[in-house]
Amino acid sequence: MPTRKSNYSNIISAEKIRKSLEYFDKPDSIDSHSESITSFKKEGLTNNIFFGLMVILGSIFALIYGYTDVFSDALLPFGGFLLLASPFIFIGGIFMVIRNLSRLAFFKKDKKRESLETICTKYYEMVFCTDISDFQTKEDHIREVCQYISPPVFERYLENGWIMFKEIQEVNDNNFGPLECITCRRKTENSQEYKETLPVPEEYIDINTLYVMCEHCDSIFCYKCICYAKHEHRKYLCPICCDATNGLEGLAERWNQTRQKIIGRDNEYLLYDVVVEKKKRKDPHVIDINVTLAGETHSGKPYPKIIFQNVALQIENNWFLLTPEPILINKE
């Protein structure tokens, strides 16, 4: 098996820039992109409404369960607790439904042509500065600013990008054949496709028997090398082509891992300044950028400045970032 360089250098690559420019070279590409982003965001709001309705329904069941335990002869575990908690669960569900219904009702397609500094501020504030404990809604934060990412790149986050395999001891009709991890060289002689997505519930299967293959470059890795990557802020991301991503869930976790690495878990980060350093390329549509964030705690204690690397694309006075990934290059 040929050796491949595994350093995530293709997060920003000439190929991704080429595909992005080709996308915007099509007629009405900006309007088409705007329509697809509008649909994508509305889908997120609709999903949140549905989840809120499920929370309300769950609170009703909790109320009935708790009432049965407290006011009847039945002895049910945690009945009293659920009886007390059900009103708060119900209120939380109602708030979620009303909030997302109002956002959906007054949803407007954003046609503003904002400056590069503005979109960098909006994007990095949303994905980095939100609380690490807010993991359940991190994907919603990414949806809010996804219109700033190059469409061909962001499309990779709407799919999983990985095919999973399981080691087998006996050859059968579904045998895929031998597999070898290009990172740690773990290998198996026989395997078959395993119909699960990353990450798997590890209490139900031995992860030492699992392998994954990138759908885009066909690179093979063992489960541990992808899901327990040495650099946790790169887990679930293909180290070779960086196209297999594990979707928005994986991207959200990588941003959370990056934040935790820099400022710790549950610490507050108040952004007060963003500086965008630009370096032009030969192509006037492409600019290398370093985005420096300056933040502080609630008490005013400053954090070291944080610098993220990216590439900006300028199309018809619209700015797009090439990658949504956290590419941390320095802390001043």
pLDDT tens digits, one per residue of 109-125? 665 567 999 999 999 98
Closest residue by Cα to residue 159 from 282, 247, 61, 273: 247
Residue 57 resides in a domain: no
The tens digit of pLDDT for each residue in 129-173 reads 766 554 446 677 777 788 889 988 988 888 888 999 999 887 777
The rounded distance, in Å, linking the Cα atoms of 134 and 142 is: 12
pLDDT in tens, 27-39: 887 777 777 777 7
Percent of residues in the chain assigned helix, strand, coil, to nearest 5: 45, 20, 35
Contacts of 194 (CB under 8 A, 6+ apart): 164, 165, 166, 210
The residue type of 93 is G
Cα dihedral value 186, 189, 192, 196, nearest 10: -10
pLDDT, one tens digit per residue, over 213-251 is 999 999 999 998 888 877 766 888 888 888 888 888 888
Residues 6+ away with beta carbon under 8 Å from 163 = 193, 212, 213, 215
Mean residue pLDDT across the chain: 84
In this predicted structure, what is the pLDDT of residue 160? Answer: 82
Domain enclosing residue 210, as ranges: 160-244
Integer Cα distance of 307 and 218 in angstroms: 32
Assigned domain for 237 exists: yes
- pLDDT for 1 equals 40
CA-only gyration radius of the chain, Å: 23
Contact residues for 75 (Cβ-Cβ < 8 A; gap 6+) = 69
In a domain, 215, yes or no: yes
Residue 83: Cβ within 10 Å count: 19
pLDDT digits (tens, 9 = 90+) for 54-113: 999 998 988 888 888 777 777 778 788 888 888 899 998 898 889 888 878 877 766 556
Provide DSSP, 134-191: -GGGHHHHHHHHGGGB-HHHHGGGGS--EEEEEE-SS--TT----EE-TTT--EES-E
Helix axes 29-70, 14-24, angle to 10 degrees: 100
Supply the pLDDT for residue 138: 65
Angle, helix 247-263 to helix 138-145, in steps of 10 degrees: 100
CA dist., res. 128 & res. 142, Å (int)? 10
User: What spatial distance separates the first Cα and last Cα of the chain, rounded to whole Å?
Assistant: 41
* Confidence (pLDDT) at 25: 87
Total of domains in the chain: 1
The Cα–Cα gap between 11 and 100 comes to: 33
Distance CA 243, CA 214 (A): 8
- CA dist 215 and 238 (Å) reads 10
Q: What is the pLDDT of residue 109?
A: 66
- Asked if residue 320 is part of any domain, the answer here is no
In a domain, 90, yes or no: no
Q: What is the mean pLDDT of residues 238-267?
A: 84
pLDDT at 67: 83
> Mean pLDDT, to the nearest integer, of 198-214?
86
Is 0.85 topped by the overall pTM?
no
* pLDDT recorded at residue 332: 47
**Nearest CA among 201, 180, 199, 198 for reference residue 189:** 180
Is residue 306 within 8 A of residue 327, CB to CB? The reply is no
Tell me, yes or no, whether 232 lies in a domain: yes
Please report how many Cα atoms fall inside a 13 Å half-sphere around the Cα of residue 180, on the Cβ side. 6
> Contact 131/298 with Cβ under 8 angstroms?
no
Indicate whether 320 pLDDT > 90.
yes
Whether 308 contacts 129, CB under 8 Å: no
**Structural domain contains residue 151:** no
- 328: helix, strand or coil: strand
pLDDT in tens, 270-291: 899 999 999 999 999 999 999 9
Give domain status of residue 218, yes or no: yes
Q: Does position 2 have pLDDT exceeding 50, yes or no?
A: no
